[in-house]
Amino acid sequence: QQPVQSPQAVILREGEDAVINCSSSKALYSVHWYRQKHGEAPVFLMILLKGGEQKGHDKISASFNEKKQQSSLYLTASQLSYSGTYFCGTEVSGTYKYIFGTGTRLKVLA
């Protein structure tokens, strides 16, 4: 039931792009994205509420394909500060239970 993220880990050089995918076996009605740096709490990046919605700020954007039950996070021209573990999250439909995806560890090298 936990959304599966891919890749599990990725290493980039500064300035490179990355895509993180989040796929669910259950219907998704909203998707959150969070970044968690080592030893810190998760920090909200963005929420997508409608199928097909795309959002972005700075050089991080995301898309949500409700039909395919998946969301993707796009990191453009990555910076050292992008390093961390990225989680997608969603509410289990019809409940108030919240679940996080399996996580993607991203490391940006200088």
Partner 1 sequence: ETGVTQSPTHLIKTRGQQVTLRCSSQSGHNTVSWYQQALGQGPQFIFQYYREEENGRGNFPPRFSGLQFPNYSSELNVNALELDDSALYLCASSLGDSNTGELFFGEGSRLTVL
Contacts to partner 1 by CB under 8 A: 2, 30, 32, 34, 40-44, 47, 49, 85, 87, 89-91, 95-103
Smaller CB distance to partner 1: residue 16 or 85? 85
Smaller CB distance to partner 1: residue 49 or 77? 49
Smaller CB distance to partner 1: residue 24 or 103? 103
Min. distance of Cβ 27 from partner 1 in angstroms?
14
Min. distance of Cβ 67 from partner 1 in angstroms?
19
Closest CA relative to residue 85, chosen from 13, 20, 1: 20
Min. distance of Cβ 43 from partner 1 in angstroms?
7
